[in-house]
Amino acid sequence: MSTQTAEQAYLNLSSEALIKMALARHEGVLAKNGALTVKTGARTGRSPKDRFIVCDENTQAQIAWGNTNQAISAEKFSQLWSKVENYLQNKTRFVAHLRVGADTQHTLGVKVINELAWHQLFTRNLFIRESLEQTQWTLMSAPNFKASPAHDGTNSDAAVMLNFTEKKILICGTHYAGEMKKAMFTVLNYLLPEKQILPMHCSANVGAQGDVALFFGLSGTGKTTLSADPERFLIGDDEHGWSDNGIFNFEGGCYAKCIDLLADKEPVIWQAIKHGAVMENVVLDEQAQPIFSDASHTQNTRVAYPLTHIEKRILKNQAGQPKAVIFLTCDLHGVLPPVSVLSKAQAAYHFLSGYTALVGSTEVGQTDPIKQTFSTCFGAPFFPRPAAVYADLLMQRIEKSGANVYLVNTGWTGGAYGEGGERFSIPTTRAIIRAILNNAIDHQALECLPGFNLHIPKSIDGVDSALLNPKNTWQDAKAFDTKLKQLIQSFQQNFAQFDVSAAVKAAEPTIEEVYHEK
């Protein structure tokens, strides 16, 4: 039952009511496919420079402080919270009681306060639509409130602030809805390691025989696309926990990229975009048909929809221990194999490295459409504790479960990005994933790529064998070696920040091996 108080606060409105409110308030329009379509203005992605964590006696020694986890004082947080709270008292606002974390033993209730109706619809799509008797956290979002850097200690007129002691999240000055979802993700990433649960930036699905697979990767590397497999059941597309009981989703929906979306290549996502979904920054034609190839607003076009829009899903939003752990990397150099079998030490090394590319970045301020990056745990912006905490938990989970770990390159082959190389096709990558999930990769018949010491299958059904060893796809062997050397040097320079065991350090690629092969 929804109610309205004298303060103009709408409580727990249904999705249908929120859509009507958003349309009446001119927050968006309906596309031909039924999705509410909105624009987020200047900020079409996350604002890392505007994100802060309150530094106090509880968090001071627990957070990996720096450019990613910027500190703000409790006083500054309280000051801005009061300003935004007073601002919203005079506005129509939307309040919902939701939760995050499908495992009822490790779930958090969250009271969401939104200035915009479509933002509340977004949280209803992405969070779990069940309230708890006790609400532990409060998330307050006021996109039209502008912070004052001089008075509020912010870097701009926008702010995303997390207060772990008071269990509050404050977001203002940005219409990009993804900030809300990632803020709650960060909360769970901070809290769950204390319970020996590994929080993960990954998608997950399960086969008919109960075989669970995890897909780690940054946005644009295939996490959502590959987990949305018509032949398997989806658990979730982005945020999960790994406990002694298995895998559980943090969310109740999906937040998929829309750029260049095609029905035949990504049918699950295509069919999920219907009434109740929210499309961000997707261009519509005169008949309100989405033009998914149009990136004039941003490369980071998005759609948020509830899991109920997916027919083949795990209803309880959780499953058992994974059989396969897949690291998705997008290699711009064109020198990594399309699939490699990793040892436990290599798994730790590549998890900490998090090498990939920013493809249609989710962050504001990136002018290059694609660039190389190293993102620890394949999601550095969302993991507030030191990286070793998460890497150690991953190794424990892999050891206990016996899961096999693979590195899958969804990036370039035959040459570097912009230098004659081509990106692996989705059908090729899907064939590789199918071979992994069907246990069709012969671990006893592998060849080694010198330098990275990666072990590569010699054949996979449905994949051109010439693609499996990346050196075979280059016309100029010397040019391949040069790019391989450059990438190895990048890995070495990045990994110098980590203090790891001798076994993990030994998994580091070496340039000497490249030239020794000659």
95 residue type, one letter: V
Closest CA to 258 of 226, 227, 281: 281
Instruction: Report how far residue 331's alpha carbon sits from residue 422's, in angstroms, rounded to the nearest whole number.
Output: 11
Quick check: is 46 catalytic?
yes
Q: Which one of the listed residues 37, 224, 375, 413 is annotated catalytic?
A: 224
Q: Which one of the listed residues 223, 240, 313, 455 is annotated catalytic?
A: 223
- Tokens read off for 444: 């006893």
> Under a CB-based contact definition with an 8 Å cutoff, are residues 207 and 286 in contact?
no
- Tokens read off for 12: 């727990």
Number of helices (H), then strands (E), belonging to the chain: the values are 13, 28
> Under a CB-based contact definition with an 8 Å cutoff, are residues 255 and 273 in contact?
no
Q: How many CB atoms lie within 10 A of CB 102?
A: 24
Instruction: Report how far residue 318's alpha carbon sits from residue 240's, in angstroms, rounded to the nearest whole number.
Output: 9
Q: Which one of the listed residues 15, 40, 46, 373 is annotated catalytic?
A: 46
Quick check: is 182 catalytic?
yes
Q: Give Cα separations from 433 to 66, 220, 338, 418, 446 (angstroms).
A: 36, 17, 10, 26, 17
Quick check: is 224 catalytic?
yes
Residue whose tokens read 């937040």 = 255
Quick check: is 238 catalytic?
yes
Cβ-proximal residues to 479 (8 Å cutoff; 6+ apart), any chain: 415
Quick check: is 361 catalytic?
no
Q: Give Cα separations from 56 to 216, 328, 489 (angstroms).
A: 32, 36, 38
DSSP 397-424: HHHHHT-EEEEEE-SEESS-TTTT-EEP
Q: Which one of the listed residues 219, 227, 376, 413 is annotated catalytic?
A: 219
The phi, psi pair for 422, rounded to 5°, reads -125, 145
Quick check: is 124 catalytic?
no
Instruction: Report how far residue 417's alpha carbon sits from residue 412's, in angstroms, rounded to the nearest whole number.
Output: 6
Maximal C-alpha separation, the chain: 78
Q: Which one of the listed residues 201, 309, 397, 430 is annotated catalytic?
A: 201
- Sign, CA torsion 196/197/199/205: positive
Distance between alpha carbon 162 and the CA centroid of its chain, in Å? 19
Q: Which one of the listed residues 232, 302, 430, 455 is annotated catalytic?
A: 302
Q: Which one of the listed residues 238, 373, 376, 455 is annotated catalytic?
A: 238
Quick check: is 99 catalytic?
no
Active site residues: 46, 182, 201, 219, 223-224, 238, 302
